[in-house]
Amino acid sequence: MTPDALKECGVLDDVSAPQGGFDPNGAWTQTWRLWAVGSDNHRGIVRIKRSVSDNGRTVDLEVNQYTLLVTYFAQNEVVAELQCRADALTSPRSWRVTSRILDLVNGKEFERARVEESAQVRNGTIRVRTAGGTFTREAPETFTCNWSLFDTVQRLPGERTTALEFDLLQELDELKTGHRLRFREKTSIRHAGKTVPVTCYQQLGRALLPYHYYVDEHHRLLLITGGSRAYILDAAGRAFHDEQVKALLTRRNRQNAARR
């Protein structure tokens, strides 16, 4: 997936531009649309709220991630609360994650699909609590998670960036080792009907296709591309997602009516 391919699809123009000032080191809330190759391109949204506590020593991230399960007319809803070090990688120190699957037709939750987990990093280990009990796993010396990287790239200094090396705890669950985030180039992309100058950062590592992060001159993360998917900053992302859910249910009703 590349910005040029997304441009040809028209998806980069079909978003709302961010408004007002932006301080990547302060408090902010942003929403990205998840776009993927396939018959149903809109796959969900990621909303991240950032705040700072403990006299600037802790970064708190509140994540709401909705992913459509189109075939089943359902939605995976993940809520994560992270307390992170105020370091270059926004490294998680503790977190709480809840994941559930919601039937979009009747609004009911699939109870057996609910997962609740909390964890704390201490003395080189990650202590994880789940409904099934408590266990520990070794903490990598330097690690972060994919949601933290949404914050990290918005604070990098462009061409002066020193490459960051780390292990990736994907969605705070699956460990992928040997990752590197570096400055790649200055370029431009389409976003919200305009051609915007951006800085591109590249992430490479094991068990993950290359990811590219495109950050504008105000340090806003406008676009992420990786494999067959993209995350696109959209100030009206939640409203757009709700419209897509309604359209999906309308399509289901038409399909059912046609079978009668």
Q: Look at residues 51, 53, 32, 35 and name the one whose alpha carbon lies nearest to residue 43.
A: 35
Q: Output the pTM of the full model.
A: 0.95
Residue with tokens 């699809």: 9
Report pLDDT digits (tens) over 185-202.
999 999 999 999 999 999
- Evaluate if residue 1 carries a pLDDT over 90: no
pLDDT band at 35; cut points 50, 70, 90: very high
- What is the rounded average pLDDT of the residues 159-179? 97
Q: How far is CA 75 from CA 90, 197, 244, in A?
A: 28, 35, 12
What pLDDT score does 4 carry? 92
- Domain segments of the chain as ranges: 3-252
- What is the rounded average pLDDT of the residues 86-109? 97
pLDDT band at 109; cut points 50, 70, 90: very high
Give strand pairing partners of 121: 126
- What is the rounded average pLDDT of the residues 131-138? 94
- What is the rounded average pLDDT of the residues 83-109? 97
What pLDDT score does 154 carry? 98
- What is the rounded average pLDDT of the residues 73-95? 98
What pLDDT score does 38 carry? 82
154 CB burial (10 A radius; 0-12, 13-18, 19+): buried
Task: Give me the chain's average pLDDT, please.
Answer: 95
245 CB burial (10 A radius; 0-12, 13-18, 19+): middle
